Amino acid sequence: MPVPVGGYQSGPTCWDKMRMGFLIGFSVGIASGALFGGFTAFRYGLRGRELVNNLAKTMLQSGGTFGTFMAIGTGIRC
């Protein structure tokens, strides 16, 4: 098998890994925020616009929080 001449392949940089960690954490946080926030909103009896606003706020907060912690954890491992 021939060996490539003139260089080497580089993997993703630490910044790329941290960004990917944030995106994965954000996705997981959005899903858990939808699940737990939806149950909480229904328990409080929210309907219509109140339900959507509360659910969106909960999803963004949990996504941002979990994404930040995943990015920090990934940055520590770099």
Q: For the purposes of burial, counting CB atoms within 10 Å of the CB of 6, is it exposed (0-12), middle (13-18) or buried (19 or more)?
A: exposed
* pTM, two decimal places: 0.81
**What SS3 string covers the chain?**
CCCCCCCCCCCCCHHHHHHHHHHHHHHHHHHHHHHHHHHHHHHHCCCCHHHHHHHHHHHHHHHHHHHHHHHHHHHHHC
Query: What are the pLDDT digits (tens) for 10-61?
Result: 888 999 999 999 999 999 999 999 999 999 999 999 899 999 999 999 999 9
- CA-nearest of 15, 14, 24 to 69 is 24
